[in-house]
Amino acid sequence: MDIPRHWRLNKQRYALTGEVCPHCQAKIFPPRDVCPECGGEAKTEFGFSGKGEIYSYTNIYNAPEGYEENIPYTVALVKLEEGPMITAQLTDLGDQPLEIGMPVEMITRKIRSDGDERGLLIYGYKFRPLVSA
């Protein structure tokens, strides 16, 4: 049971809430309270737009524990519009071929169950190809 470990991360996982540095304006994700750019204290909350592009990606056929039900799936490095690069699963790919530089958007999805089917459901960010109107 890892309840507190997951619960502490709700905000960043559900809505991509990070931080902005009050000294150099760098946008920070995941939040770490110290700016990786200038080293200053950075505790101001910042909501990321969720828009970004694929920097690189790989397909997973042998999943780590807890993710077996989802195979095959794709994990990508996503370069967020505001700067930071994050690792996340891609989802809802349909039959569109993936490309480096492809625009993606954040959505909140079920990541896994903590333990078996009796465990906590863990939700968090994934990315999908940008759905255009």
Partner 1 sequence: MTEKRTDFKMLKPSRPVGIIGYGAYVPRYRLPAKEVSRIWRGGSGGEPIKEKSVPGIDEDVVTMSVEAGRNALARAGIQPEEIRAVWVGSESHPYAVKPTSTIVAEALGVTPYTQAGDFEFACKAGTEAMAAAMGLVGSSMGDYALAVGMDTAQAKPGDALEYTAAAGGAAMLIGPAEDALAEIEGALSFVTDTPDFWRRENQKYPEHGGRFTGQPAYFKHITGSVSRLLEELDRKPEDYAAVVFHQPNSKFPRRAARELGFTSQQLETGLLSPRIGNTYSGSAMIGLTAVLDRAQPGELILMASFGSGAGSDAISFLVTDRIIARRGRALSTEDYISRRTEIDYAQYVRIRGKIALK
Q: Least Å distance between CB 124 and partner 1?
A: 10
Helix (H) / strand (E) containing 14: helix 10-15
The residues that touch partner 1, with contacts defined as CB under 8 A, are: 10-11, 14-15, 47, 68-70, 89, 91-92, 94-95, 107-111, 121, 123, 126, 131-133
Q: Least Å distance between CB 111 and partner 1?
A: 7
Q: List for the chain the helix, strand, coil content (%; round to 5).
A: 10, 40, 45
Residue among 28 and 111 whose Cβ is closer to partner 1: 111
Burial of 16 (0-12, 13-18, 19+ CB in 10 A): buried
Residue among 37 and 105 whose Cβ is closer to partner 1: 105
Residue among 38 and 71 whose Cβ is closer to partner 1: 71
- Among all chains, which residue has been given the structure tokens 């080293």? 39
Give Cβ neighbours of residue 69 (< 8 Å, ≥ 6 apart): none
Q: Least Å distance between CB 83 and partner 1?
A: 21
Q: Least Å distance between CB 42 and partner 1?
A: 20
